[in-house]
Each structure stands twice: as C-alpha cells, then as structure tokens.
A and B are shown apart, each in its own frame.
Chain A
Amino acid sequence: MSKLNRDFPSDVITDILCQLPVKTLLRFRCVSKRWHSQIDGPDFVQLHLGRSLATKSNLSLILKKWYLYSAEFDSLHTATELNPPLNIIWGLTEVFGSCNGLLALCNSEEDMALWNPSTRKYQRLPVMLVEPPSGDVRPRRFTFYGFGRDPINDDYKVVRMVQFVSQDGDDGFFSTELKVYSLKTNSWREIKDFPYYLRFMFQLGYLLFYRRGYGVFAGGALHWVLPPGFGWDCQIVAFDLGVEEFRIVPLPDHVDQGFEMDLAVLEGCLCLLCNYDNDYVDVWVMEEYGLKESWTKLFDVSQSTLNRAFGHVMPLAYSKSREKVLLEVDRDKLFWYDFRRRRAKRVRIEGAPNSFSADIYVGSLVPLGGGEVDRKALKPQKERKKSNTKHMDKFLSKGFKLTL
C-alpha cells in the first residue's frame, strides 16, 4: 500500500466531514488538532447544519407522550427513547420548540432548559419567577411559550408570556407578563411594551387544545393565533425575535371564512391551517415570509382523504422528493400525504407511544454551555408508568394550566 504523496485537498475533507452525523464528528475531534479545531469551529457548525437542512439528512421526528422518543426521518421505522436532562417529572416535561438541533424543554414555567440531543449537551435556563398581578383576586392564567433563532444577533431565544384574566372575565381586569431569554447572554429580560390585542389571545375554548400555546417559529419570529372575537376574524400574531416586537402577519386574500385556525411550519415556511368544521382542512404556505401575495394553497385534506373522521391536522415535513408531506393527525396518527395521487398512507412507527405530539428535529453541532446528560443518573422510572397512565388519559391538555 503506497503512501499518499500528495496532500488531500482541505475543501474535500470539509465536504466529507459535512456529510457525517454528529456522533461521528464528536468522535473525530480526536483525530488531530486540525480536525478538532475545524469540527468545533462556528463556520463548520453552520456549514454542517446548512447541508443537513438542504439535503434533509440527520433528520428525526421527536415524539412525546409521557416520555420523549425519536425516530429517524429517513425510515420512520423505530422509535427509541431519549433521556432529556431535566429531572423527569414523569410525563410533564414538554418540548415547546425545536430549532437547528436544539430542543426547548420545560417542566414548569420556572424550570426550563435547552437541549441538544445529538451532542447531549444542555443548558438550564436561570430560574425566572412569574410575578402575578397584585391584589386579592386570584386570576386565571395561561402561559404561552416559544423558542427560535434570532438571525440578527445570531442568538437563540425563549419567550414566555403569562396572561392573567380575572375570574369574572368581564370586569376587564387583565395583565400580561412577557419575558425573553437569550442564550448568548444566558439571561432574561422583561418586555413591558406590547400591543393591546395580545389580551385577546387568551381564549379558553381555543386554548384547550394541546400545544396551541407554543409559538411556531418561522421567518425569525414566533407565531401564535389570535382567535376570532367581537369584530374580527382570526389573525396571526408574530413576535420578531430580532427586534423583539409584535406585529400581525396578513392572511391570504381569498380564504373562505368560518374556519378554526392553526399554525405550522414546513421547511422554515409559515403554514396556515384552516379547519372547516372538521370536515376538511385547507393548508396554505407562505412561500416568502411576510409577503401576503406569496400565500399559496398547498393542499387540502378531507375525511375521505384520510378514510376517517378527524379533528386536527398538522403538517410536519416534506418527503425528500417533495412529492409527499408528513401529517400528524389528532395527536395520535401519522400519514404520508401524496400530492399527486391526493391520497394519504398511514405510517406506523415501532415502539412509538399510541398518542403523541410530534416535532421535526435536525441533528446539529450547535453548542450549548453548561451541563451534560449522565445517562445512568437520569433514566426515567418506568415502574410508575402503568398506574398513572389511566389517570392521565383523562387529563385534557398539557399546555393548559387553569389556576382557579
């Protein structure tokens, strides 16, 4: 075997490294000082992430019921259990955001963390107490969450917005607490200035449905639904993570009214889901963020498409060939919807819980400071699962905390 007498070009090595999964790259940090500094370098982290997103590699589906699971997107064959860093308060750890390889987790409003399951590093957020309004009356409250990337400051941010409404509802008492966490500074900051219409986001009927309090990240902003009220139809509320301001995102011009609205994101593009009485759902995608004219009706799904009645549809990702889209239906089923054939095919993942919330996740080297997960120490206690499952099945919605 002859020794190579020519140097292997460095851009070829970079291209090879870009195609490797995170676990491999973490191992290859040991190869040499040059490889170590390259793999750790922020340029390479971005390059690797960019390539993963562009070629749809290193993708998984994160599933959550009592515990967290992940399934490789390429095959969607088997779900393996994950060991997240927060002390697992059995069943209550929620994933409220997934961005560039980081997952945002919370056990409660004051116990949150960012976690990269690919590198197994995590960062616990400093505890930031919720300050309820003063007074004798104990208000009802609801907490909105969101996580995403601030492209202007190259930062990752968590948004926590707690809304308080008086018990009587009609007497007008209301207050909002809005706090934003920045990963870069590892600190929270309160925002006191926000538009009046935010108060109308708190509608019990709308928010009962699981996860509607979690913001959808697209175009550098987090989005929530402003349900219809007196004198207006639903709107899309956006919080720009760069300038930390709210705005309304315009809806498509020719959309029929009378629907219940949900939001989703497909490959970074904001999606509007118009559910007409659970009869059919129109899925619109905003091809160019912020441009009203770029709203395009992507497809619609009806009872006959899915061969069953349904209540709620959520698109997750396109297939590699873009001929199909992965749909989560009613929090317990997955389908591939074929655009050309206009047919849906059920996906069954071995080992997946029988109902779940789903998020798309891309494996990346995006770094987090602080702690690392010790697999043995945090193994969840499976024995408790059986007795509590029945009880929890009756519980309506995880994201909804009614304080009476």
Chain B
Amino acid sequence: MADDGVNTKVEAVSKATTETIELRTEDGGVFDVDKPVAMEFLILKSFYEDEGRVFDKTSIRLPNVKQLELSKVIEYCTRALEFGAKSAAAAGDKDAERMVRQEREGFEAEFVDELSNEMLKELILAVNFLDIKEMLDFLIRSVANRIRNRSVAYVRQFFDIENDFTPQEEDQIHQENAWAFEGVDAD
C-alpha cells in the first residue's frame, strides 16, 4: 500500500528496555508497539506462538485496521495493562482497590465520551479483528449504554439496518408493547 507520507511512530509505555513490534496499518501508519501491549492482541499473540519463532523486530501489516483506530486501541490497552498492574499491587487493600477501580472508570468514561458513533463502530470492528477480549467487552458495554434509551430509528441508523417491515407490520409490533416507546430520548 502506498505510503501517503504519514509516518507515525508511537512509543507506548516508556520502559527503556521494552521490546517493540512494528505494526503497519492499511492506510500507511507505522506504530512501534511495546510487546506486552501487542500481545494483548490475540491475533498477534497466536501468530508468535504458533510460528514458535524467536521474537525479532518484524514488521506486521494489519489489513483491516486504520491508524486512527490503532492509536486508540494502543492507548486503551496500554492503560488497561497499567490498571491491571495497579490492581494487583493493591490486592488485599480494599480502599486502594476501590481507588484503582474508580480511576479506571474515570478513564473509560472519558475515553468513550470522545468517540463518535462511527468511531465506536470502527473500533469494535478493529478490536474484533485483533481479538482483544477485554477491550471488546468494554466497547460492547459502551454501545449498550449509548443506545439503551434510544428510538428504533436511531438504532437502525447506528447499525446501518434496513427496515424490512411493512408499515402495518411495524405498527402491529409497536402496539404489542406501546408503553415501551414512552420516555425515549429525542433523536
């Protein structure tokens, strides 16, 4: 894929001697990712484990991922590892554990607040491809929260779903639980 001149090198967690893996996105982005973070991507982890190869700084192309998404994924996974470490360190101390939990919740709320619906969807597709369970769970939770009080029309647009009901059919189904349409957020 032609290099469009954008060469983004992102250094994740700054530890002097951490090994990195180079990841190239489909739109020309190049990322140096710390190995622990990259190993959160099960698609990469299984590649390294299957091949049984000695780790070297190979460059890997990710065909289904764009730079914007990858940078967000790296940001989340890096912080997730940090929180994991903090949580482990706080184990046994209930108050410290609570503090870590709250800090994490704060980060996650801010992280998802900044995402448009489009970005949220693109991230889900990218994370699903990269096979990162924890982040996928988080994104799924975020989508559920975002749509729970939304209208049918909003949700159709969100997921790009075509309405295949006739107006009579839809009206019938609506009437079966008319009360469920009350108190819904305006579009």
- By a beta-carbon cutoff of 8 Å, the part of chain A in contact with chain B is 1-4, 6, 8-9, 12-13, 15-16, 19-21, 23-24, 26-33, 35-36, 119-120, 323, 340, 375
- By a beta-carbon cutoff of 8 Å, the part of chain B in contact with chain A is 94, 118, 121, 124-125, 128, 136, 140-141, 143-144, 147-149, 151-152, 155-156, 159-165, 170, 173-174, 176-177, 179-181, 184
Q: Give chain B residues whose Cβ lies under 8 Å from the Cβ of A30.
A: 152, 165, 170, 173-174
Q: Give chain A residues whose Cβ lies under 8 Å from the Cβ of B118.
A: 1-2
Q: Give chain A residues whose Cβ lies under 8 Å from the Cβ of B124.
A: 8, 12
From A9, A13, A28, A375, B152 is in contact (CB under 8 Å) with A28
Q: How far is it, in angstroms, between the C-alpha of A26 and the C-alpha of B181 when the chains are bound?
A: 9
Cβ contact within 8 Å between A32 and B143: no
Cβ contact within 8 Å between B159 and A36: no
Known contacts A4-B121, A12-B140; is-contact A27 B177 (Cβ 8 Å): yes
Nearest 5 Cβ contacts at the A-B interface:
A19-B144, A26-B177, A26-B180, A27-B180, A30-B152
Cβ contact within 8 Å between A16 and B125: no
* Central interface residue in B94, B124, B140, by most chain A CB within 10 Å: B140
Known contacts A9-B128, A12-B140; is-contact A31 B163 (Cβ 8 Å): yes
* Central interface residue in A4, A9, A32, by most chain B CB within 10 Å: A32
Interchain residue pairs with CB less than 8 A apart (29):
A2-B118, A4-B121, A4-B125, A8-B124, A8-B159, A8-B160, A12-B136, A12-B140, A16-B144, A19-B140, A19-B141, A19-B144, A21-B148, A26-B180, A27-B152, A27-B177, A27-B180, A27-B181, A28-B152, A28-B155, A29-B176, A29-B177, A30-B152, A31-B163, A32-B165, A33-B164, A36-B173, A120-B177, A323-B94
Q: Determine the residue in chain A with the shortest Cβ distance to B150.
A: A24
Main SS of chain B's interface residues? helix
Q: Determine the residue in chain A with the shortest Cβ distance to B97.
A: A321
Q: Give chain B residues whose Cβ lies under 8 Å from the Cβ of A21.
A: 148
From A3, A19, A28, A120, B179 is in contact (CB under 8 Å) with A120
7 more CB-based (< 8 A) A-B contacts, given A12-B140, A24-B147, A120-B177: A15-B140, A16-B140, A26-B177, A29-B173, A32-B162, A36-B165, A340-B94
Cβ contact within 8 Å between A32 and B128: no
Q: Give chain B residues whose Cβ lies under 8 Å from the Cβ of A36.
A: 165, 173
Q: How far is it, in angstroms, between the C-alpha of A6 and the C-alpha of B147 when the chains are bound?
A: 20
Q: Determine the residue in chain B with the shortest Cβ distance to A36.
A: B173
Q: How far is it, in angstroms, between the C-alpha of A65 and the C-alpha of B143 when the chains are bound?
A: 39
Q: How far is it, in angstroms, between the C-alpha of A44 and the C-alpha of B143 when the chains are bound?
A: 19
Q: How far is it, in angstroms, between the C-alpha of A16 and the C-alpha of B142 when the chains are bound?
A: 9
Q: Give chain A residues whose Cβ lies under 8 Å from the Cβ of B140.
A: 12, 15-16, 19
Q: How far is it, in angstroms, between the C-alpha of A353 and the C-alpha of B165 when the chains are bound?
A: 45
Cβ contact within 8 Å between A31 and B174: no
Q: How far is the CB of B67 from chain A (nearest CB, A)?
A: 15
Q: Determine the residue in chain A with the shortest Cβ distance to B144.
A: A19
Q: Give chain B residues whose Cβ lies under 8 Å from the Cβ of A27.
A: 151-152, 177, 180-181, 184
Q: How far is it, in angstroms, between the C-alpha of A247 and the C-alpha of B118 when the chains are bound?
A: 59
Q: Give chain B residues whose Cβ lies under 8 Å from the Cβ of A28.
A: 152, 155
Known contacts A1-B118, A340-B94; is-contact A32 B156 (Cβ 8 Å): yes
Q: How far is it, in angstroms, between the C-alpha of A32 and the C-alpha of B169 when the chains are bound?
A: 10
Q: Determine the residue in chain B with the shortest Cβ distance to A13.
A: B159
From B128, B162, B164, B180, A12 is in contact (CB under 8 Å) with B128
